[in-house]
Structure 1
Amino acid sequence: MTVKHLSVEYDKVNERGTFSPGDTLSGKVTVVTSKEIKVQSLVVKAKGKAKVSWCEQEGQATVIHSNKKKYFNFEHIILQDKKKGDGSEIISPGRNVYPFNFVIPDTDMPSSYKGRWGTITYSLRAQLTQSVWLVQKTKTEFPFLTKSEFPFASKSEMIIIGLKEQQHATRITFYGSGRITMNVTSEKMGLKQGEAMGISVEVINGSARTVTPKFYLCEKQTFVAQSKRMVHTNDIFCGTGDSVPAETSRTVTKILSIPPQLPPTFFNCCMMKLEYRLKVTLAAPLIRDPEIKLPLVILLGSPKPLQQKPKRSIWFRKLPG
C-alpha cells in the first residue's frame, strides 16, 4: 500500500476535552505515503446525529423500528482535482499534515450519549479518494456537551426550583396483623455527577419479621421511533442499611454517591431521554419487598482541577428522623 497512514485529530479547547454549541472545532488530517501519489480528493467532514434502532417480533415477522436526526453535517475540501476524476492533485512522499476548522452551530443540541437502543454521536471523518476503487477512510468521535444548564426541564421553572427542595415519601405495608411504616427523606432532588447526599429512612416495624433497607439508583432510558416506544431500565445497587428487628423502630441514614461517569439526566432529544429515580426497599424473608421511589435529577458535574487533594469526609445537612 502506498498510503501508510491516514488519521484525523482535533485540538482540545478545554480541560474536559469537550465541545459545545458555538465552539470552533479545529484539527488536522495526517497522510503518510511511501511515494508521490495522485488523488481525486481529500475531504474532512464534521457530523452530529442521533439514531435509535431496535427489533420487535410481530407475529412471525421481525420488524425493525428506527429513526435518526442530523444536527449538523459539514464538509471541508482539503484537496480536489481540477477536473473530476483526472487525479490532478499530488500528495508528496512522507508525512503530510493538513489543518482544518469548523464552527459548531450555536443551537440547542443534546450531549453525546450511548444507550441501550440509541446513540447521540459527534464525529470527524476524513476520506482520501485516489480512484473509484481505491478509497480510504478514518473516523474519530469527539465528546459534546449541551449548552443547556437544565436539558431536562422542558422550560418548566417548577422542575428547576424543585432541584434544591427536600424530597419525602411514606409507604405503609401490612403483614398479617402487623404494620410496617417506612418514611424516606432525601436532601434534594438535583445532584451533580460525583456529588453525595444523605438519605434518611425511618422504619416503624410493627410486624413479626426483621426488615432491612436496601438502596438503589434506578436508570430509565426511553427511545422513540415510528410512533413506537421502547424502555430500558437498570437498577444500580448502592448498599444496605442496618436491619430493623420485629416490633422496633429505627432511623437509618445512608450516603448516596453519584458515580462521576454516570450520564446526566436529559430530555432535549426528540428520540430518546434519560431519567433517574432513588429507590428504597425493605427486604424481609418470605414477603414481597415494599419500595419507595423518589425523583432524582443528575446534573453535569464540574471538571476536577489538575491537582486536587482528596477530601477526608463528606458533610451533609442533618435530615429529620
Structure 2
Amino acid sequence: MTIKHFKIEYDAINSRNIFTNGDTINGRIILEASKKTKIQSLVFIAKGKALVRLVNYYGDIISREDVTDDYFQDKLKYYRIKQDIVKEGEQDGREVIEKGRHVFPFSFKIPNSRKIPSSFSSIFGQIVHTLKAELKQSKKLRRKAKTHFTFMGTARGSRLMARQHESVNKNIVLGSGKVTMDVHTRRSGYKQGEVLRVKVEIQNLSSRSVKAKFVLYEIKTFFGPNRGKIQKHEIQKEKSDAIESQSGQTTVIKEMIIPRELSPSILNCSLIRLEYMLKVYLEIPCETDLVVKLPIVIIPELSREGSTSGCSRSQTFASRNQPAWMSQSMEPPPSYEESAMYPLYPFGDL
C-alpha cells in the first residue's frame, strides 16, 4: 500500500469539546505516502443522522438480512455537507503527491437550524454527527477515515422560563375528609448542576396522615411504525416528613440538584426522544396516591470558557466518561448506555 496513514481530525473550541448550532469546525485530513503516488480525488463530508433499530429479542441475534415482523430500522438525515479537497477530473483525473506526510485543511459551519438534535447513543438508537474523508486512488482502491464530534442543540423558547403549577385533590374513602396538593416550580428549563426548587402546598383536612415524595426520572422513547420502545429510569428520589391528620395548610419546599452528567433533553427528533419528568406524589395510607407530573427540560451548558482552540481532537460523541477513539480507517464500534445484558446490534455506517 502506498498510503501508510490516512486520518481526519478537528480542533476543539472549548474545554468540553462540544459544538452547537452555527459553530465552525476547523480540522485537517492527514495523509502519509510511502512513495510518490497518484490520487484521483479527496473528499470531505460532514453529516448528521439519526437511526433507530427495534428488535423483539427472544434470545437470538437478528442479522441485517433477517428483516421480519420482529425487526424495524429507520434513519433520518439532518444535513450533509461535501467539499472537494482534490477534485476528481483535475489534471486528467490524477493528482501526484510526493513521499511523506501531507496535510489538507478543511472548515465547515454547522447549520444554524433548531431541527438538528443533539448527539445521543443507545442500543436502540443513535444520533451521530460525523466528519469523514474519502480518498480515491483508482476505480477499485478507496480509503475512508472518520470521526464523530459532540453536538448539543441550543434550547430556546419562553416556555422554558415559565412557572409551572398543577393542583389535585382527593376525598378519603376509608376514613373522612379531603386532601389537596398544589405543586409549583419556578420554571421548566434547567442546566446541569442547577437547583430544581419544588414548592408543595398541602391541605390535609382528612383523618389520615400523608407524606410527600419526589422523583426525578428520565424517559427514552424510540419510535417505529405501529410499535415503539420506552425506557424509564429514576434519577433522584426525595421525601418529606409526615403531615399529620387534620393539620390544615402545610408548605413543603424541596430542592433537588440536577446531576451534571445528565444528557440534554432531545425533543426535536421524530425517531428518538429523551425527556425528563418530575413526579410529586402524596402517599396516603390505604388510599391511592395523589400524583402530579411536571416536565423538566435539561438545557445544555454551552459556555465558551476554557477554550482549547487549536488543540487537535479526534474522538467520538460517546459520553464524557467514556474513552475517545483516535480517528482511523478502521471504524470503532458504537457505544451504548445500557448494560451488556442486551445483544449488541451494529448500526453500520451512519
CA shift at 1:219, angstroms?
A: 2.2
Q: State whether structure 2 residue 133 is matched by structure 1 residue 135.
A: no
Matched to 1:70, the amino acid is: K
**Structure with the bigger percentage of strand:** 1
Q: Over the residues paired in the alignment, what is the CA RMSD in angstroms?
A: 3.7
Which residue of 1 is the match for residue 343 of structure 2? Answer: none
Q: State whether structure 2 residue 240 is matched by structure 1 residue 242.
A: yes
- What CA distance in whole angstroms lies between the structure 2 residues aligned with 1:270 and 1:44? 28
Which residue of 1 is the match for residue 221 of structure 2? Answer: 222
- What CA distance in whole angstroms lies between the structure 1 residues aligned with 2:244 and 2:161? 36
- What CA distance in whole angstroms lies between the structure 2 residues aligned with 1:45 and 1:201? 52
CA shift at 1:124, angstroms?
A: 0.4
- What CA distance in whole angstroms lies between the structure 1 residues aligned with 2:177 and 2:2? 79
After TM superposition, the structure 1 = structure 2 runs for residues 92-111 of structure 1, keeping only pairs within 5 Å, are 92-111=98-117
When normalised by structure 2's length, the TM-score is: 0.67
Which residue of 2 is the match for residue 112 of structure 1? Answer: 118
CA shift in 2, pair 1:299/1:81, >3 Å: closer
Matched to 2:5, the amino acid is: H
Which residue of 2 is the match for residue 124 of structure 1? Answer: 131
Which residue of 2 is the match for residue 12 of structure 1? Answer: 12
Deviations 1:229-281, CA, capped at 9 Å, x for gaps: 52424232423223316637564322122223433334333334333221023
CA shift at 1:97, angstroms?
A: 0.8
CA shift in 2, pair 1:66/1:173, >3 Å: farther
- What CA distance in whole angstroms lies between the structure 2 residues aligned with 1:243 and 1:140? 51
CA shift at 1:106, angstroms?
A: 4.0
Contact 1:201 1:252 in 2 (8 A): yes
CA shift in 2, pair 1:297/1:184, >3 Å: farther
Which residue of 2 is the match for residue 270 of structure 1? Answer: 270
CA shift at 1:293, angstroms?
A: 1.2
Task: Specify which of 166, 169, 186 is matched with residue 168 of structure 1.
Answer: 166
Which residue of 1 is the match for residue 212 of structure 2? Answer: 213
- What CA distance in whole angstroms lies between the structure 2 residues aligned with 1:180 and 1:36? 87
Contact 2:3 2:31 in 1 (8 A): yes
CA shift in 2, pair 1:232/1:115, >3 Å: farther
Q: Can you give the 5+ residue segments of structure 2 that lack an aligned partner in the other structure?
A: 58-67, 308-350
Q: Can you give the 5+ residue segments of structure 1 that lack an aligned partner in the other structure?
A: 151-159, 308-321
CA shift in 2, pair 1:5/1:173, >3 Å: farther
- What CA distance in whole angstroms lies between the structure 2 residues aligned with 1:171 and 1:305? 47
After TM superposition, the structure 1 = structure 2 runs for residues 35-46 of structure 1, keeping only pairs within 5 Å, are 35-46=35-46
Which residue of 2 is the match for residue 281 of structure 1? Answer: 281
- What CA distance in whole angstroms lies between the structure 2 residues aligned with 1:115 and 1:182? 41
Task: Specify which of 95, 119, 124 is matched with residue 89 of structure 1.
Answer: 95
CA shift in 2, pair 1:180/1:136, >3 Å: farther
- What CA distance in whole angstroms lies between the structure 1 residues aligned with 2:232 and 2:191? 18
- What CA distance in whole angstroms lies between the structure 2 residues aligned with 1:230 and 1:33? 49
Which residue of 2 is the match for residue 25 of structure 1? Answer: 25
CA shift in 2, pair 1:214/1:68, >3 Å: same
CA shift in 2, pair 1:294/1:148, >3 Å: closer
Number of residues of Structure 1 aligned to a counterpart in Structure 2: 292
Contact 1:110 1:120 in 2 (8 A): no
Matched to 2:120, the amino acid is: K
When normalised by structure 1's length, the TM-score is: 0.73
User: SS where residue 109 of structure 1 aligns?
Assistant: coil
Structure of higher RCO (CA pairs closer than 8 Å, 6+ residues apart): 2
Q: State whether structure 2 residue 85 is matched by structure 1 residue 78.
A: yes
CA shift at 1:166, angstroms?
A: 4.1
Task: Specify which of 175, 179, 182 is matched with residue 181 of structure 1.
Answer: 179
